Amino acid sequence: MKPLVLIVDDEPGILTQLSHILGDEGFRTLITGKGEEALELYRRWHPAAVFLDIWLPDRDGLETLRAIRDLDPHAAVIMISGHGTAPTAVKAIKMGAYDYLEKPLAYNRVLEALTGALAASGTGEGAGQGALDLGKGPEHVREFLQPPGLPLLRESETPQRTVKSSSVIYGLGLHSGSHTGMVIQPLPVNSGVHFLTVPKGTQIPAHLDSVADTEYATTLSREGESIRTVEHLLAALHAYGITNLLVKVHGEIPVLDGSALEFCERLEEVGIEMQGLPRKELVIDRRYEAGSGDRRLVIEPAETFSVSYLLRYPPPVGEQFYEFTMRGFEAFKTEIAPARTFGFMRDLPMMAELGLGSGGRLDNCILVGDDNVINTKLRFPDEFVRHKILDIIGDLYLLGYPIRGRVTARFTGHRDNIALQRAILGASA
């Protein structure tokens, strides 16, 4: 029998709609239109999850959320509202709500939110149920990469990981220039990393098959919906070993300061959950190569994951070389994560024609002129090449697993990073 769910809303139509949706999926429900009665029902019946309206006639929904969390610090609460605001959503998540849904409620989103909330709270009945289709997560990659005689995936001693709680991150999109936000949420073991577009709810696996564009950034797409600039977030997830995560986002991942540092800090702030089951690692079995001429990207067998990169641009950048070995997330956070994205003044007209770069500001990228860096002080003398390594670490996580291999790069970009992965998968088909 599926668990009991409490629905709290002052609109009779919402109570009826949610009850029918959950009833069709086999869940039992309790309903009320008042916050005080909701607390009494929670004390008496201990429901596995709560759908809670922001606006209630007798008390504020956020106050009710706080009271429920005081009763049960592990309570799985999903806030709902027909006229909420972004600050309200952020506050609700910070207070411990698992998710925040806008009315009118979509069947798919209701079930996906409930599934995630139950799984995150440790209610076994929630795992594997609902609307999220994880069929193109790691299992899809595992089948593709392990034909007979080519054991690229190996079980490691490191456990699978997700985040301990949900969190909201807001900022600008680097290329759209629009205000954008994202929510990160835990997922159960063997789920993989998935994006969910807002508001349509299209699921896009963080996988090579989803790549749609590599012009100045990596864009994932599915069913007409796209998520831009995923590489900085994926680099942080790769470095921290986050194997299972849901990322809800509208259009583009926030650029923040142009690096991956704030993503690292947020992961540490919400905490990382060790999930018990061992993770798989993608172990490079032989040399794979992409590019031509001086532009070359190679990955070869090695005991650890490392990236060395040779970069060469006209002055003031010049030639830079850096080699990074993934010795743990602290090394990534110190050496690579702070390196910001960069662009050249001479490329701005072309980027404008492509509809890119609209969110580039003085505080979220390095802007390079003819003779000098125009807008900021460099964090490292070789910050440019370190950021190229950051992009490689992020893009390569689209293979679906942490990697064990040595990467050597010369003058390459996002297009080459994707081409190298396709060479690996193509050789494994």
Point out the residues that are catalytic.
Answer: 414
C-alpha torsion angle, residues 177, 183, 184, 189 (rounded to 10): -120
Per-residue DSSP letter, 190: T
Element (H, E) at 234: helix 231-240
Here the tokens at position 364 are: 């979220």
How far is it, in rounded angstroms, from Cα 59 to Cα 63? 7
Burial pattern 164-194, b for ≥16 Cβ within 10 A else e, equals: ebbbbbebbbbbbbeebbbbbbbbbbbbbbb
- Which residues on neighbouring strands pair with residue 29, listed in sequence order? 5
Burial pattern 256-266, b for ≥16 Cβ within 10 A else e, equals: bbbbbbbbbeb
Tally Cβ neighbours within 10 Å of residue 32: 19
Cα Rg for the chain, rounded, in angstroms?
A: 23
CA pseudo-torsion sign 122, 125, 131, 134: positive
CA distances from 364 to 137, 180, 339, 342, 370 (A): 31, 14, 11, 9, 20
Interacting residues of 385 by C-beta distance below 8 A, sequence separation 6+:
309, 310, 311, 320, 321, 322
State the Cα angle at 273 between 271 and 277, rounded to 5°: 165
